[in-house]
C-alpha cells in the first residue's frame, strides 16, 4: 500500500487506546508496529489505564503511553464502585484534552477501560475511529462505540449480530511475528525443552497466572500420560508453580518440562502435537496460525462467558474440541489420550483450525486505519 501523506512535513498521528490484559495489549502493539512498517513517520500515542499492564508493556515496545484514572464497575457491591463516577468524569476530561493536544487523524480502540473515554472524545471531534474486537462475543462498550465508529475489525465470523454489517472487516487478531515463523524450529525447540523429538508431545498452558482447573486435571492424568510414553510441556502459571514443583518432584526431566512461564512460545508450539489451554482470544489466534490440534477449556470467570463463545466459534467449524471447566477434571484424561492416539483426528483439527488463521491481521487493520485517514484528507 502506498504511503498516506497529509501535507508535506505533516506526519500522520494515530492514537491507540485500551488494554488491561495481554489479549488487548499485544494486538495493540502489533497494530502500531504494522502502522510503522507502512510509514515510519507515523506518530503513535497509546492511551491506557493507570496501573494496568499496558503502562509497562507499551514503553517496552518503544511507544509513548499516557494513563487514564479509569476502571470498570465491580459486579459486587463494593466501596470501589463509589469512585466509579469520579474516575469516569476525570478520564473523559483527560481524554478530551489528550485528543485536543495530540490532534490525531484516527483513533483505534482495542478494548479495555481506557478505550471508551478516548473514542468518545474522538467522536465528539469527528475524528475517524476503528474498533478491534478480539472475541467472538462483543462487550457492551464496543457495541456502544460501534454506533459512531467507521470500522469494526473482528476476529470471528457472524459478528453482524453485534455490529452494523457495513462496518465490519474480518481481519483476525494480530499476533506476535514469531508464532508465524515455526518452520525449521522443531529441532531447536526439542533441545530447548530437553525432550525427545521421536515422542508425541502435549503442550498445556493456562496464562501467566495459571488455570487451577487445567492444572488439577493434568496432575490427575500425568502418571498415565508419562507411562504411555507421551511428553509434556506444562506452563503452570506463577500462582501454582511452587506447589506443583513439589508434587512432581522426580518427574521433571523424565518426559516433563515444568515452568511458571514459557519464554519461547514459538518453541512450545513447534514441539506440540496437541495443545490444551483456555479460550482467550489471543491464544486462539495463535493456535490458528500455528495450526495446532487443540482442546479448549474456557474459563468461566470472564465477562459474559465470552471464552465459551470463542471456543464454540471453533467447535462449529470442527477446528477444536471444547471441554467445559466444570467437567474438565472428569474428562481430561480420556479426551487427551484419545486425541494423542488418533493421528487422523488431530490432523483434521489442525487443517480446520489453520483455515481460520489470519496471518496479515495487523497489516490489514493498519491499512483500514490509513484508508480512513486518506478519505478524511
Indicate the annotated binding residues for UDP-N-acetyl-alpha-D-glucosamine: 21-23, 135, 176, 208, 262, 307
Nearest Cα neighbor of 47 from 103, 100, 117, 106 is: 117
What 3-state class would DSSP assign to 275? strand
Give the chain's length: 377
CA angle 144, 311, 320 (to 5 degrees): 150
Task: Please report how many Cα atoms fall inside a 13 Å half-sphere around the Cα of residue 25, on the Cβ side.
Answer: 18
- Contact yes or no for 43/14 (Cβ under 8 A): yes
Q: Known binding site: residues?
A: 21-23, 135, 176, 208, 262, 307
Cell of 51: 496501573
Residue 40's alpha-carbon distances to 37, 44, 229, in angstroms, are 6, 10, 51
- Contact yes or no for 305/135 (Cβ under 8 A): no
Residue 190 CB contacts under 8 Å (≥ 6 apart), including other chains = 196, 197, 271
CA distance 69 to 59: 18
Nearest Cα neighbor of 294 from 304, 285, 306, 303 is: 285
Beta-bridged to residue 204, according to DSSP, are: 234, 276
What 3-state class would DSSP assign to 156? coil
- Contact yes or no for 68/47 (Cβ under 8 A): yes
Task: Please report how many Cα atoms fall inside a 13 Å half-sphere around the Cα of residue 114, on the Cβ side.
Answer: 32
- Contact yes or no for 296/323 (Cβ under 8 A): yes
| DSSP assignment of 123-173 | HHTT--EEEEE-SSS--HHHHHHTTT-SEEEESSS-GGGTS-GGGEEE---
CA distance 345 to 176: 28
User: What H or E segment, with its residue span, contains residue 219?
Assistant: helix 212-227
Amino acid at each position: 500500500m502506498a504511503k498516506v501523506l497529509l501535507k508535506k512535513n505533516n506526519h500522520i498521528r494515530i492514537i491507540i487506546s485500551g488494554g488491561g490484559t495481554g489479549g488487548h495489549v499485544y494486538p495493540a502493539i502489533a497494530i502500531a508496529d504494522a502502522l510503522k512498517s507502512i510509514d515510519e513517520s507515523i506518530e503513535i500515542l497509546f492511551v491506557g489505564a493507570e496501573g494496568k499492564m499496558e503502562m509497562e508493556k507499551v514503553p517496552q515496545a518503544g511507544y509513548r503511553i499516557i494513563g487514564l484514572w479509569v476502571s470498570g464497575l465491580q459486579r459486587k457491591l463494593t466501596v470501589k464502585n463509589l469512585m466509579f463516577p469520579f474516575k469516569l468524569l476525570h478520564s473523559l476530561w483527560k481524554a478530551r484534552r489528550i485528543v485536543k493536544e495530540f490532534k490525531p487523524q484516527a483513533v483505534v480502540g482495542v478494548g479495555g477501560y481506557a478505550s471508551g473515554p478516548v473514542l468518545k472524545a474522538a467522536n465528539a471531534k469527528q475524528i475517524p475511529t476503528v474498533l478491534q474486537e478480539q472475541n467472538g462475543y462483543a462487550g457492551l462498550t464496543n457495541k456502544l462505540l460501534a454506533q459512531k465508529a467507521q470500522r469494526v475489525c473482528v476476529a470471528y465470523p457472524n459478528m453482524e449480530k453485534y455490529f452494523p454489517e457495513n462496518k465490519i472487516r474480518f481481519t483476525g487478531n494480530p499476533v506476535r511475528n514469531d508464532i508465524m515463523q515455526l518452520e525449521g524450529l522443531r529441532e531447536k525447540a526439542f533441545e530447548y525443552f530437553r525432550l525427545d523429538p521421536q515422542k508425541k508431545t502435549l503442550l498445556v498452558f493456562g496464562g501467566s497466572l495459571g488455570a487451577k482447573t487445567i492444572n488439577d486435571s493434568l496432575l490427575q492424568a500425568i502418571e498415565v500420560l508419562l507411562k504411555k510414553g507421551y511428553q509434556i510441556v506444562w506452563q503452570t502459571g506463577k500462582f501454582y508453580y511452587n506447589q506443583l514443583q513439589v508434587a512432581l518432584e522426580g518427574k521433571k526431566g523424565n518426559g516433563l518440562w515444568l515452568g511458571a512461564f514459557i519464554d519461547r512460545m514459538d518453541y512450545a508450539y513447534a514441539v506440540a502435537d496437541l495443545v490444551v489451554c483456555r479460550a482467550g482470544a489471543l491464544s486462539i489466534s495463535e493456535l490458528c496460525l500455528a495450526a495446532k490440534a487443540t482442546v479448549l477449556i474456557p474459563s468461566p470467570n470472564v465477562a459474559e462467558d465470552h471464552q465459551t463463545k470463542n471456543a464454540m466459534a471453533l467447535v462449529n467449524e470442527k477446528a477444536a474440541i471444547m471441554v467445559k471447566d466444570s467437567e474438565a477434571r472428569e474428562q481430561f484424561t480420556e479426551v487427551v489420550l484419545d486425541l494423542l492416539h488418533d493421528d487422523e483426528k488431530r490432523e483434521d483439527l489442525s487443517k480446520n483450525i489453520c483455515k481460520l488463521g489470519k496471518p496479515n491481521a495487523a497489516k490489514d487493520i493498519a491499512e483500514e486505519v490509513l484508508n480512513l485517514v486518506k478519505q478524511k484528507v
